[in-house]
Homo-oligomer: A and B are copies of this chain.
Amino acid sequence: MSVVENSYKPSHALANVRGSAIRDLLKLTEKPDVLSLAGGLPATELIPAERISESAARISADPEALQYTVSAGVYSCREAVARYLGVDEPVGVLLTHGSQQALFLLAHALVNPGDLVVVDDPVYVGALQVFQSVRARVRALPITAAGLDVDALRELLEAGERPRIVHTVSNFHNPAGVTATAATRIELARLADRYGFIVVEDDPYGRLRFSVTDIEPIAAHGDRIVRLGSASKILAPALRVGWMSGPKEVIEMVELLRQGADLCGSTFSQLIVAELLDDSAWLDSHVDRVRSEYRLRATTLAGALRHELGDKVQFGEPEGGMFCWVRMPGIDTSRLLVDAVNAGVAFVPGTAFGVDADFSDCLRLSFSALAPDGLHEAVRRLAVAVKNDSK
């Protein structure tokens, strides 16, 4: 091997990471004539730009808001997040650059190469990438209609396996759409206590619930839970403010690691988020508007799928979040994608989310980014692609 090749050789950590098929795909489907059901973007037109712009102008006029802050984040924003989550202690909250960073730092703080980490199957791809980058031994357990399969987890534990972390997306799963039931949550917390692992309750979508019924977080049922959240889906992704809440031992470990990772978050962004979270009258009405628009879009997508594709599709009605997970028995959705892009519509094929299970006849459709007309047209194009594929 030449010296030149050697100097650009990736670390074992990086070599272990699978690129995000979704992000690679997004690059391919950025053609303006393709309607994309592929991305995970919140609706741009629902981002409260006017309100953020007003706060941003006022807050950034003070140069103190443009200085460095401490690694754990601006204290007033930690307080605001603690109030938002109903957590007693701001010291139990650490602010991150989106909740993806929370997951990354957490994994680096807790997991050694070869340690077992349990994830969902289908998996949130960003979680898989993180656990691959720490060279964890990843075991994926099925997502059932009740959330992560706790029976399968119990069997694994009873067989003697000892995961460091069990990661699950608890509300409106990405990509599977389902929400963990109260029973699943209670059992996860109980198993964590009994077997000494950390549950990472990844919850970016919890506020985007279409019904009024709320389910208590896993964190309500035990102490060994680190809950991740984000301002990205309720306010704006570009604020890059996420958070983790959990045991102070874990928070302190992550804080130390963060000094080296990027010193600190943005004082400015965190002050904006603090202001908007604390303005609860405005926030409630804003989130209500987002939820009702997403509910309309989800209903539109589901209706269009039934109308255009009938018994070719199987899916659960979305109850929140941004995604609908669809099974198309007998269809290879990776192959279908080629026809689909030709017909002017994009989605993410199920294989992108599979760890051990075979999701080659599944696809993830995002309903958040297109208005109802766009969703109707996108599904019509999908039906054309399916017809071509069946030929």
Interface residues of A (CB under 8 A from B): 3-4, 6-14, 17, 19-20, 23, 27, 41-42, 44-45, 47, 49-50, 52-54, 56-58, 60-71, 96-98, 100-101, 104, 108-112, 126, 129-130, 132-134, 164, 195-198, 224, 232, 236-240, 247, 249-250, 253, 256-257, 259-269
Chain B residues within 8 Å of A65, by CB:
49, 238
Contact B23 A47 (CB under 8 A): no
Give Cα A366 to B212, complex, Å.
55
Q: A100-B263, A266-B269 are in contact. List 10 more A-B contacts (CB 8 A).
A: A8-B253, A11-B134, A14-B256, A41-B68, A53-B60, A66-B237, A96-B262, A126-B259, A266-B266, A269-B269
Nearest first, the 7 closest Cβ-Cβ pairs linking A and B are A3-B196, A129-B260, A57-B57, A66-B236, A101-B262, A49-B63, A8-B249
Give Cα A130 to B263, complex, Å.
11
* Known A-B contacts A7-B196, A263-B98; A64 and B50 likewise in contact (beta carbons under 8 Å): no
Chain A contact surface mostly: helix
A21 to chain B, nearest CB (A): 11
How many copies of the shown chain assemble into the complex? 2
* Known A-B contacts A239-B266, A259-B126, A263-B100; A8 and B67 likewise in contact (beta carbons under 8 Å): no
Chain B residues within 8 Å of A97, by CB:
97, 240, 262
Q: List 10 A-B contacts (CB under 8 A).
A: A7-B197, A11-B109, A13-B257, A17-B256, A53-B61, A96-B262, A100-B262, A133-B260, A240-B262, A240-B264
Contact B41 A110 (CB under 8 A): no
Chain B residues within 8 Å of A7, by CB:
164, 196-198, 224
A14 to chain B, nearest CB (A): 5
Contact A261 B101 (CB under 8 A): yes
Q: Which residue of B lies closest to A131 (CB)?
A: B260
Other-chain contact of A250, B8, B111, B196, B237 (Cβ < 8 Å): B8
Chain B residues within 8 Å of A4, by CB:
196
* Known A-B contacts A8-B247, A44-B67; A263 and B126 likewise in contact (beta carbons under 8 Å): yes
Other-chain contact of A266, B19, B70, B110, B240 (Cβ < 8 Å): B240
Contact B52 A60 (CB under 8 A): yes
Give Cα A60 to B55, complex, Å.
10
Q: Which residue of B lies closest to A2 (CB)?
A: B196
Give Cα A259 to B49, complex, Å.
25
